[in-house]
Amino acid sequence: MNPRADASNLSNQFLIAMPGTADSSFSGAVIYVCEHSSRGALGLVINRPTDITLKDLFERVDLRLDEPRLAEQTVYYGGPVQTERGFVLHDATEHTYASTLQVAGGLQMTTSKDVLEHIAAGQGPARFFVALGYSGWSAGQLEDEIAHNGWLTVEADASIVFDVSVEHRFDAAMSLMGISSVSLSQIAGHA
């Protein structure tokens, strides 16, 4: 069985960077793919913490966050595109936010400030992941990178995003494929 996902739709998949990735910003990265279509792909790096906390971010957007368990939560580097913009990956909610993408597999990705307002008020999604910036590919670009062994793909497990500590996310994503990161090689073969 090939652990790679169907390259025609990689939404709700993890992209796992292969060793020797040409773009250093993706070295050792695990990316959750939020959207993939014939027009391209959009995802969030889930294992690159920044030195920004939620309290810092909320202060930047003029919101007060008093909840101590949330205030020190880390904001992540989602990727090199629009790094000044926030992206919130979260469990599906009954509340409708102004700009939410429904991701196959049950998660949602919201880019509007109202999700942060709900989090600040203690009414936000039960589980959420906040990133600045995103990872994006134009039409056919991601498929080409996968064909050239730049990425491994596997169906995502939301618990890795929300419940696994950042230093273990790469290995946890690899374990979904039944392999360990030490067995990766820069050069992969084709059957």
Give counts: helices (H), strands (E), the chain. 6, 10
State pLDDT tens for residues 131-144.
999 999 999 999 99
- Band of the pLDDT at 184, cuts 50, 70, 90? low
Question: For residues 76 and 51, what is the distance between their CA atoms, to the nearest angstrom?
Answer: 8
Model pLDDT, residue 190: 46
- What Å distances lie between residue 16 and 48, 63, 151, 173, 184, CA to CA? 13, 34, 5, 7, 11
Say whether 119 sits in a helix, a strand or coil: helix
Domains contained in the chain, CATH given: 13-183 (3.40.1740.10)
State pLDDT tens for residues 4-44.
445 568 999 999 998 776 677 788 999 999 999 999 999 99
Q: 159: which DSSP letter?
A: H
Say whether 40 sits in a helix, a strand or coil: strand
State pLDDT tens for residues 93-105.
888 899 999 998 8
Model pLDDT, residue 93: 86
